[in-house]
Amino acid sequence: MINKHSLEVGLSFGITSGIITTLGLMVGLHSGTHSKVTVIGGILTIAIADSFSDALGIHISEESEGIHSDKEIWQSTISTFLAKFIFTSLFIIPILIFELSTAIIISVVSGLFLLSILSFILSKKQGTKGWGVVLEHLVVAIIVIFLAHYAGVWIASIF
């Protein structure tokens, strides 16, 4: 039987990280290279390497609490990996269908929309003001996107 806490930890962390990390990477690589191949390669790299990294991070975090069984820890680990891998990989679809600049816009809008939905659901579950939590999470995501964009522009100007 899957532990509800383990699943919630893995899904909420994996989805959030998958959205924010991938959007930052996509925007930064697009700003620096304007190359579909580079952006797709970056997404696939994040889907594999960062999904494993985040899953291990959750694994160690859950172990460090000292209150979870091995089964619960592994459920959090696996659900984090799967959520991050799947949500990260989904961002390849618009790039395959649309021109790169359009795909980036579609990805940013859809990613921020999904993050808003997740944030709203989590806030309601916790009994807090939904839109305050949504706004807080969106501000962080938008800062990441802007910083990644300007990092890409800066790197392209230097190299």
Q: Per-residue pLDDT tens for 37-93?
A: 999 999 999 999 999 999 999 999 999 998 988 998 999 999 999 999 999 999 999
**Residue 131: what residue type?**
W
* pTM of full prediction above 0.75: yes
Cα atoms in the 13 Å half-sphere on the side-chain side of 73:
14
Q: Per-residue pLDDT tens for 86-112?
A: 999 999 999 999 999 999 999 999 999
Domain count, the chain: 1
**Domain ranges, residue 88:** 4-158
Rounded Cα distance, 129 and 137, in Å? 13
